[in-house]
Amino acid sequence: SASLYVVATPIGNLQDLSPRAATVLSEVAMVAAEDTRHTARLLRHLGVRVPMLSLHEHNESARVDRIDAYLAAGESIALVSDAGTPLISDPGFVLVRELRARGRRIVPVPGACALVTALSAAGLPTDRFTFHGFLPAKGGARRAQLEELSGRAETLVFYESPHRIRDTLTDIGEALGGRHLVVGRELTKTFETFLEGSALELAARMEEDPNQARGEFVVMVAGAPPREKGVGVEVEGEALLAALLAE
């Protein structure tokens, strides 16, 4: 039956597009794309000719009926974003939610995603992690969010742009202390780099070598160290239990 295919595209290296993604893009009736000019380059590279429809954060709700009409007519559609997996810090959530509510078939076509790519090579714990997308642009809100996350034990993952990477590292240093960070930059591209150290060390390194502050970033922060045992609540709890047993 007609489906909405949610298709992951490369985050840099074009060879990361899966053969299945290429097949789907060549077989659908229409590709809904975050930026049609950007996606036109990918489709040209694949030798695929297919009509496109723009779908971005400002028109997403307005596009739902139009895309649903295709599906109702038995025509499948692919959703792509500029890079990586749609809906992950990218448009598509409203569309998928609405079409799912209408009983339409939604088929994921997996592929590159910057946060998973970064985690897979960082050497930080991955049994538990939380993804927080982009931190707020304004300093006050950014620091407040970091404070809120400061007690979390799991690995924290953020996306960041070259405009704010240094400010963000400085704020992470202040809010989260000297914890270990791994920053993945330009993943799958020519200048792919992993930097490791404390947030303030990494900010200083980018200050020295501005090339290190260029491109796209995934910032990964070790979780809060475990709280020391044998002090505070637990001992109080034991003392209380002993007292109750004595009664």
Residue 3 parent element (H or E): strand 3-7
Residue 54 is which amino acid?
Answer: S
Question: Toward ligand SAM, which CB reaches closer, 162 or 197?
Answer: 162
Q: How far is the CB of 215 from ligand SAM (least distance, A)?
A: 7
Answer yes or no whether residue 91 interacts with ligand SAM by CB under 6 A. Answer: no
Is residue 3 within the footprint of ligand SAM (CB under 6 A)? no
User: Looking at beta carbons only, is 88 or 106 nearer to ligand SAM?
Assistant: 88
10 is an interface residue for ligand SAM by CB under 6 A: no
Q: Is there binding between residue 39 and ligand SAM (CB under 6 A)?
A: no
Q: How far apart are CA 198 and CA 173, in angstroms?
A: 7
Sheet with 105-109, side-by-side order of all strands: 52-54, 30-33, 77-80, 3-7, 105-109
Binding mask 145-164 for ligand SAM (x = CB under 6 A): --------------xxx---
CA torsion 12-13-14-18 (nearest 10°) is -100
> Which of 39, 76, 85, 155: binder of ligand SAM (CB under 6 A)?
85
Tell me the two tokens of residue 127.
Answer: 């049994």
Site for ligand SAM in 103-132 (CB under 6 A): 113-115
Pick 184 or 223: Cβ nearer ligand SAM: 184
Distance CA 77, CA 52 (A): 10
- Dihedrals φ, ψ of 238, to 5°? -65, -40
Which residue in the set 26, 89, 150, 170 belongs to the binding site for ligand SAM (CB under 6 A)? 89
- Amino acid identity of residue 120, one-letter, is S
Based on the shown chain and the rule CB under 6 A, indicate whether residue 17 belongs to the binding site for ligand SAM. Answer: no
Could you tell me which residues come within 8 angstroms of residue 210 by beta carbon, excluding any fewer than 6 positions away?
none
83 binds ligand SAM (CB under 6 A): yes
Question: 171-200: which residues touch ligand SAM (CB under 6 A)?
Answer: 184-189
d(CA 77, CA 86): 14
Minimum distance of ligand SAM from residue 38's CB (angstroms):
12
> Where does this chain bind ligand SAM (CB under 6 A)?
11-12, 81, 83-85, 88-90, 113-115, 159-161, 184-189, 216-218
